[in-house]
Structure 1
Amino acid sequence: MRYRIYCLLFLLLARPLDLFAAESPADPLNSVMWHEMHQRLLDGAPVVFDERVRVSAPAVAEDSLNLPLWIDATALGEVERLLVFAELNPIPKVLDMQPLKAAPRIGLRIKVQQATPVRAAALTADGVWHLGGVLVDAAGGGCTAPSMGSGSSDWADRLGEVTARLWSRENHSRLRASIVHPMDTGLVAGIPAFYLEQLEIRASGGDLISRLALFEPIAENPVLTLDLPKVKQLTMAGRDNNGNPVEAQISESSQTGSNRL
């Protein structure tokens, strides 16, 4: 009897740790990488495929360096994290957003290396990830092409420059901001990874509205669109992976233009 107990304990301890994680549900997009993404990016946590998480993108990426995405998980209600990833990119993770006081909704542009599922995963308070996604066809090469702006003579002087617009909608404010940055992936020979890494958006009084972690596959000179609670003025601050700061004050009165502190 004791021998059987020892054998059972040995078998349990010898099992790979990921077998104790939640089983990956069947993937409606039939991706060969889905199980790997579930374990690596979502830590094997409980997952449901949910039509309330909407990912809007062209069926074909005409420009693999600039694929527009619109992610909307507002139908879920409160969301703790919003994770965006392109499964067949050499660097899958694109964005990790903590909406906090912002709506769990964002527009952005990304690079794609080949045809790939593009997904958004929204984490709710019960610890469940709700997934939506689409298949995007692409000629490819977006992640292994050098940035265009780094060939310009003034790109270093304009690094981190923010051009933004903030305007009121029916029950919220919308922010659209463009940030000058090459967003190099590090996958081009002789060009190290150089990308925006973190952004925080705060109300004029300093209250944190939203926090974003950004990764290499976001397109060069990122353009981000967010829906925020009603604000007249806000601050955007962050840094890239080399420690260069991004700092801007944005208000409704200055609808466009460069904003740097």
Structure 2
Amino acid sequence: MTGRRRTMVLLGAAWLGLASKAAPGAGTASAVIGHGDPMQSPQWAWIHKELLQRGPVVFDNRVRVTGPAFAEDPMRVPIAFDASALGEVDRIVVAVDRNPIREVLAFEPLRVRPSLSFRFKLEQASPVRVAARTRDGTWHVGSVWVDAGGGGCTVPGATRRDGSWSRMLNRVDARMFPGLDGAGARVRLRVMHPMDTGLVAGIPAFHIETLVLADTAGQPLLRLTLHEPVAENPIFSFDLRDAVAPGMTVAGQDNNGNRIAARVSP
């Protein structure tokens, strides 16, 4: 082999090596399926098996996930996601790799945009996952890394410390605002609840399990299944696809059977 040909072969091999390293982070619909986790997290295998039921996976930057680089308050870490670029989405799962309880919530955007903002508890620095399932059964996964001082899941919330939780339990504040693009509407929903993880000595798990937003005819617009890592007194913001007549309702319950019921104010 001549020196020139040898040099070209080596350069070609080096280029292929760089391309293979870049592929997991490509984050498009052509990204690696089922492998190549861009976060390189050992907990990903558990999330894929237990929460996504080993379904086909694409690491996809069309699932936009935004969160702070560092969580100043690990008990109330803001996160937002938007999977609208995927088209039809029937289920979204949010998980935190390094939390003692990894599953945060599941969201069925029946007649709302597949986007949501809320706050959650973070025990330590971790990847935060948002997996959106399209109609063909494929999970499209977006991720963001959030650093933290830690402890968000293993300390009591503010309403536990001052004892005010029982006076406000399951009180709902729900408002509707004009949509950002002139169509539909934005809904902001807050439910007063301590959302105890069960990881604090002497305080058992106590959290909201389900929330359903319905139109005036009682037809569901969205469903939320919540788990312990959702922040105390959770606040959710989401966008309706179309204009809805005033009189929407919110219903749900917590894991002790306490009911949640309210009407959304225009």
Q: Give the alignment partner of residue 200 of structure 1, picking from 193, 212, 237.
A: 212
Q: Distance in 2 between matches of 1:116 and 1:195?
A: 22
Q: Distance in 2 between matches of 1:68 and 1:176?
A: 15
Moved over 2 A (4+): 150-155
| Alignment correspondent of 2:189 | 177
- Once the two structures are superposed, the pairs formed by residues 57-76 of structure 1 within 5 Å of their partners are 57-76=67-86
TM-score (ref. length: structure 1): 0.86
Q: Could you tell me how far 1:154 is from its partner in structure 2?
A: 3.9
On the 8 A contact 2:34/2:58 being kept in 1, the answer is no
- After superposition, the C-alpha distances for 1:128-171 in whole angstroms (9 at most, x for unaligned) are 00000101100100000112102334421210001122112111
Residue 98 of structure 2 aligns to a residue in which SS? coil
Residue 166 of structure 2 aligns to a residue in which SS? helix
Q: Distance in 1 between matches of 2:247 and 2:83?
A: 25
Deviates more, 1:155-164 or 1:140-149: 155-164
Q: Give the alignment partner of residue 110 of structure 1, picking from 101, 111, 120.
A: 120
Residue 142 of structure 1 aligns to a residue in which SS? coil
Deviates more, 1:158-167 or 1:126-135: 158-167
Q: Give the alignment partner of residue 217 of structure 1, picking from 206, 219, 229.
A: 229
**Pair 1:90-2:104 in alignment:** no
- After superposition, the C-alpha distances for 1:69-113 in whole angstroms (9 at most, x for unaligned) are 111101111101011011110000011011111111000000000
- After superposition, the C-alpha distances for 1:182-227 in whole angstroms (9 at most, x for unaligned) are 0000011111000011000000121111111000000000000011
Residue 248 of structure 2 aligns to a residue in which SS? strand
Deviates more, 1:168-177 or 1:23-32: 23-32
TM-score (ref. length: structure 2): 0.84
Matched residue count: 230
Unaligned stretches of 5+ residues in structure 1: 1-22, 253-261
Unaligned stretches of 5+ residues in structure 2: 1-32
| Alignment correspondent of 1:191 | 203
On the 8 A contact 1:234/1:250 being kept in 2, the answer is yes
- Once the two structures are superposed, the pairs formed by residues 148-187 of structure 1 within 5 Å of their partners are 148-169=158-179, 170-187=182-199
On the 8 A contact 2:75/2:122 being kept in 1, the answer is yes
For residue 200 of structure 1, what is the amino acid of its counterpart?
V
Q: Distance in 1 between matches of 2:183 and 2:235?
A: 23
Cα-Cα RMSD: 1.1
Q: Could you tell me how far 1:125 is from its partner in structure 2?
A: 0.7
- After superposition, the C-alpha distances for 1:33-52 in whole angstroms (9 at most, x for unaligned) are 11121111111110000111
